[in-house]
Amino acid sequence: MAGQPLNQPAEIPAELDRWNWGAFFLNWIWGIGNSTFIALLALIPVVNIVMIIVLGARGSRWAWQNRAWRDAEQFRKTQRNWAIAGLVIWVVSIGGCAAMVGGIPFVLKGSDAYHMTMDKLRADDRVKAALGDDLTESFWVGGHLNVNANGAGDAQFSIPVHGAKGKGTAFSTAVRTAGTWSLRLLVVRVEGADAPIVLINEDHVAIPNAAIGI
């Protein structure tokens, strides 16, 4: 019959009715490319969580029905290409996000404010007595760093530290003026100790008994 898709009947062959990774990974993009416009529901918040699962489960069936395919082999190759493209995009995206998150500690640790903080910690006799002379920081460091072109800036760090005698967390606040950093607050909370070690408190802020949140 003129105009009838070559993949008639519309019922998908059993060997092709399988999970569709292209529809799962690329959802609405895959939907446009496969004339399956119900996939646009994946653009709706909350609904998209359910929709990507539905697309993975029923995507092959919908694509077979909604587009004209020369034969089963063309369908299979096309959906395989969608799946590969989706996987590549997801891997690159996840890898990029992981690199950004993993790079944060390197950025924080590379700052003068961070080095100033660690130097003060390692030189303090009270910190040595509580944690040991071999003070070491963990890889993951929390906080933020802001440096402006005009020489101003600020930084806050939450640094897990440990030594031969114990471990704890150092909290510091630093301010940058005319290109020079100065520590305003430096406190160490040692695990098992009731009171924190206050090294610097230039602004005389109250030091709570509970863990300090930065």
**Which pLDDT belongs to residue 3?**
46
**Which pLDDT belongs to residue 5?**
54
Q: Radius of gyration over alpha carbons of the chain, in Å?
A: 29
**Which pLDDT belongs to residue 2?**
43
pTM: 0.56
Residues of the chain scoring pLDDT < 70: 1-10, 101-102, 208-214
Q: How far apart are CA 39 and CA 22, in angstroms?
A: 12
**Which pLDDT belongs to residue 209?**
53
> If you search the block for the tokens 């009715």, which residue do you land on?
17
Token pair for 28: 């609405």
pLDDT digits (tens, 9 = 90+) for 134-175: 998 988 888 888 888 888 999 999 999 999 999 999 999 999
